[in-house]
Amino acid sequence: MKGRGEDAMAAWLQPRLQAAMQDATVTLRLHPQREAESNKSPDFVLEMEVRVPLFDGVPLVVKVPILLEVEAGAGFEGALMDLERYVTRSVDGSGRQPPAISLPFIVATEAAAANRLEVVRQLPVQFSAVELPIPSPQWRHRRGS
């Protein structure tokens, strides 16, 4: 590794990774969008939050939306158009929608001044669109048994 501090950080991180993996948590929250005034696409947002306690007092928190679209009539192409509307709202700069993805950015310095700053940037995101059948009422009972 190059530069000052990278070797020390790697040596510090390596033994802590296993414990952090065991203590990490995943939280899922379902947000139906049907009641939203103008933001009806996607139909559901399943918010996934992953917390990794790697640094004392500074948990690494990753928030990612999993988008669920129901398209009985318009089908797969209609869902892709709804995805485009969601992405456009997310990056239009209007502030109508907060950033959809939240990622930690840890900065280790010699000064250790405890600076904090929230920065919004655009990153390329790959969506893996998968078409599944709409669950039938019987499906719920089969899954629960």
Q: What is the tens place of the pLDDT at every residue in 29-68?
A: 998 876 666 656 788 999 999 999 999 888 899 999 999 9
Provide mean pLDDT across the span 12-19. Answer: 93
Split at pLDDT 50, 70, 90, the class of 23 is very high
Q: Where are the domains of the chain?
A: 6-144
The DSSP-derived string for the chain is --SSSHHHHHHHHGGGHHHHHHH-EEEEEEEE-TT-SS---SSEEEEEEEEEEEETTEEEEEEEEEEE---TTTHHHHHHHHHHHHHHHHHSSSSSS--S-B-------SS---------------------PPPPHHHHHHHH-
pLDDT over 90, % of the chain: 41
Provide mean pLDDT across the span 121-132. Answer: 89
